[in-house]
Amino acid sequence: MFCQCVHHFGQPLRSETREDMQPTGTEVILSVVAAGVCHSDLHVREGGYSLGHGRWMSYEERGVKLPVVMGHETVGRIVAAGPEAGKLDPARNYVIYPWCGCGNCDFCKTGDEQLCATPRFLGIHKDGGYATQIRVPHPRYLFDIGDLDPQFAAPLACSGLTTYAAIKKIRDTVADHHPVVIGAGGLGLMCLQLLAAMGSKPAVVVDIDPTKREAAMKAGAHATVDPKAEDAIARIHDACGGAPHAAIDFVGAESTAELGFNCLAKAGTLVTVGLFGGAAPWALPLIALRSAVIRGSYTGSLVDFAELMELARKGAINPIPTRKYPLAEAENVLNMLEKGKVIGRAILDPELKG
Ligand code: NAD
Ligand code: ZN
């Protein structure tokens, strides 16, 4: 098998050839058909997150062992299964739920494996999809994509699931009030499609990049706002027909957290998803005075993923823009994403030759 690995944090990926994988127990080996490139992979390559005030959360200190193969948005076809994996169909394409936990704690027992304290996330703690083969610990993580295009289905495992779970946290407001979506990258554009599929009013989208704002309009945004405009908050209020009741921040920088919080109506909800980094910018009295709700959201549960896949297989979700690249191009694709040059999602395809 061939893979692209992080050998040292902060350095370019390296190509590697390894022995083909053999499964044991409940494991399933898939040959990778499509692997989405998420902005979180930039944080993994870098080795952690800025926590603001000069602090840094390091993957190394959190026990991530190198080398690791990134890639947590993966579709593949089964090539081998361990003796306890049960009967699986090698002719089908499966999208992999990558947020695997220990399987035994209270979170894992209810399907909230993404919250497990000893995660085994594929593409972060265990090898992921930037490869020709991937090892999945149990068939419960495999979801049949039916007739869906693998290029559309791969991003559902992170950008789809993450935005689906974030929207569920503001669902009681979106049928009557335009939500605000900050960041129109892979997650933001997916969010616009899921909002439409879930019966929401279209979102007002905030992004610093005019090409991303244009992509958001094409994807069904109600209006877009440049956060650098001096009157950005007034523009958001105009577009929403008043102060919005909910905002989802897919950037997660100090400036977006501040804008998201300040634009909301009283008792509004700000959901923080993005991991660009920094420290909280809100004045504590204002959180109380405004009865504000500030919630984090991290990927989603197995139950969320099953619900999302049902919506997707029904054809209820319009695709976001995607473009395929050879697997050997992974490092270049990451660099393009870092420079803001990717619209929607870039997908690595091991079959595609450079
Ligand atoms: P992306 O690179 O595709 O998109 C980021 C978008 O944010 C771009 O359109 C960019 O122009 C915009 N942006 C950057 N700075 C901005 C600012 N100051 N104001 C407004 N817009 C700004 O990234 P993505 O794949 O959509 O991921 C977004 C973030 O979400 C990343 O930090 C990623 O790690 C994180 N993420 C979190 C979860 C989770 O579960 N919480 C899951 C997946 C990704
Ligand atoms: Zn991701």
Residue 190 pLDDT exceeds 80? yes
Beta-strand pair 48-52/55-58:
antiparallel
Q: What is the value of pTM for the model shown? A: 0.98
Give residue 54's identity as a one-letter amino acid code.
G
| Closest among 112, 138, 148 to 30, alpha carbons compared | 138
Bridge partners (DSSP) of residue 95 are 75, 143
pLDDT band at residue 42, thresholds of 50, 70 and 90?
Answer: very high
pLDDT tens per residue, range 283-321: 999 999 999 999 999 999 999 999 999 999 999 999 999
What is the pLDDT at residue 354? 74
The b/e string for 327-351 (b: 16+ C-beta within 10 A; e otherwise) is: bbbbbebbeebeeeebbbbbbbbbe
pLDDT tens per residue, range 244-281: 999 999 999 999 999 999 999 999 999 999 999 999 99
> Where do the H-state alpha helices sit in the chain?
39-46, 106-109, 150-153, 159-168, 171-174, 186-197, 210-218, 232-240, 254-263, 284-289, 302-313, 330-338
What is the pLDDT at residue 201? 98
pLDDT tens per residue, range 154-189: 999 999 999 999 999 999 999 999 999 999 999 999
* Residue having the nearest C-alpha atom to atom 11 of ligand 1: 209
Instruction: Check pocket membership of 343 for ligand 1, CB cut-off 6 A.
Output: no
pLDDT band at residue 209, thresholds of 50, 70 and 90?
Answer: very high
User: Ligand 2 mean position to 38 CA, how many Å?
Assistant: 5
Contact in structure between 32 and 135 (CB atoms under 8 Å): no
Instruction: Check pocket membership of 212 for ligand 1, CB cut-off 6 A.
Output: yes
pLDDT average, residue stretch 346-354: 93
Full DSSP string of 11-73:
S--EEEE-PPP---TT-EEEEEEEEEE-HHHHHHHHTEEEEETTEEEETTTTTPPSSEE---E
What is the pLDDT at residue 353? 86
User: Ligand 2 mean position to 72 CA, how many Å?
Assistant: 6
d(CA 42, CA 44): 5
Looking at every residue in the chain, the average pLDDT score rounds to 97
pLDDT tens per residue, range 45-95: 999 999 999 999 999 998 899 999 999 999 999 999 999 999 899 999 999
What is the pLDDT at residue 37? 98
Residue 325 pLDDT exceeds 90? yes
What is the pLDDT at residue 81? 97
Contact in structure between 76 and 58 (CB atoms under 8 Å): no
Question: DSSP assignment, residue 335?
Answer: H
Ligand whose nearest atom lies closest to the CA of 157: 2
User: Ligand 2 mean position to 162 CA, how many Å?
Assistant: 8
Contact in structure between 105 and 117 (CB atoms under 8 Å): yes
What is the pLDDT at residue 281? 97
Percent of the chain with pLDDT over 70: 100
